[in-house]
Each structure stands twice: as structure tokens, then as C-alpha cells.
Amino acid sequence: MKLRLPLVRLAPLFVLVATCAIAAPAKAQAAAPAAPSAAAAPAAAPITGNVQNARDKVSMCIGCHGIPGYKASFPELYHVPMIAGQNARYIEAALNEYKKGARSHPTMDAIAGSLSDQDIADLAAYYSNLK
């Protein structure tokens, strides 16, 4: 007997596995002590999102945000918004709020916590250019 499940029904499992794979290195990196700097760092240039670089990063997003009408079932039934075409500043703000704990959803907390500021800018640029 073959077990056949539609891919959409397996999406929450993939998200959970991806979340665990992403969250563990992020927590380890956060626990590592910061190296002292010899001199004060100069003011950083503004971060600009790169659509091409984001193409290697979107795999963690499309499992939920790329399925029309998708609803996540963890921790409760939740309608997952489509983010294609959303304003880049809004996407950046939302990811930074998840990263800092101002917004909370277990999956998004783990994913956003693993992203660098450059990753966030790249993903925002990518999704804001989709329609």
C-alpha cells in the first residue's frame, strides 16, 4: 500500500523542519560572545536589497507565502498572507519586528531571527518586485 498525501498537506511539516534547521544555528550564533572591536566602527552604509541574492533565500518563504489561500495550523489555524507585491519597507519592518519580538508567531520568529539585515533587505526587494 502506498501512502499518498498531497504536497500541500505536507507543507506544515516542511515548515517545521526548516524552522528547526534555521533556528538552531541562529540561537548558537546569538549565544556566541561578540569579539571586541579595536576601534569604533565607522557609520555603516545603508543596506540595499539585491533581488538576485534573494533568489537563494526565498526557499524558506515559499512553503507558506507562495501557496494561494494557505492556512498554517501551528500553533493555531492562521491565514498566511501572500507577500508578493507587498511594499519593501513593510516587509522589512515586519521581519525586523518578528526578529526583535514586537510581533510573534513561532515559525516567523525563528526564520526572522536567523536573517541578517542584508537578508531582510534582499527578501524585501525580491518580494516587492513580484506581482
pLDDT digits (tens, 9 = 90+) for 34-50: 555 555 556 678 899 99
Q: Is residue 5 part of a domain?
A: no
8 A C-beta contact, residue 67 and residue 11 = yes
Q: Is residue 39 part of a domain?
A: no
pLDDT band at 24 (very low <50, low <70, confident <90, very high): very low
Q: Is residue 92 part of a domain?
A: yes
Q: Is residue 38 part of a domain?
A: no
Mean pLDDT of 68-72: 90
Q: Which range marks the domain in which residue 106 is found? A: 54-129
Q: What is the 3-state secondary structure (H, E, C) of the chain?
A: CCCCCCHHHHHHHHHHHHHHHHHHHHHHHHHCCCCCCCCCCCCCCCCCCCHHHHCCCCHHHHHHHCCCCCEECCCCCEECCCCCCCCHHHHHHHHHHHHHCCCCCHHHHHHHHCCCHHHHHHHHHHHHCCC
Q: Is residue 25 part of a domain?
A: no
Q: Is residue 88 part of a domain?
A: yes
Q: How far apart are CA 52 and CA 29, in angstroms?
A: 26
pTM over 0.85: no
> In which region does residue 115 sit, left (phi positive, over 0), alpha (psi from -120 to 50) or beta (all else)?
beta
Instruction: Give me the CATH number covering residue 85.
Output: 1.10.760.10
Q: How many domains does the chain have?
A: 1
Mean pLDDT of 82-105: 96
Q: Is residue 68 part of a domain?
A: yes
Q: Is residue 43 part of a domain?
A: no
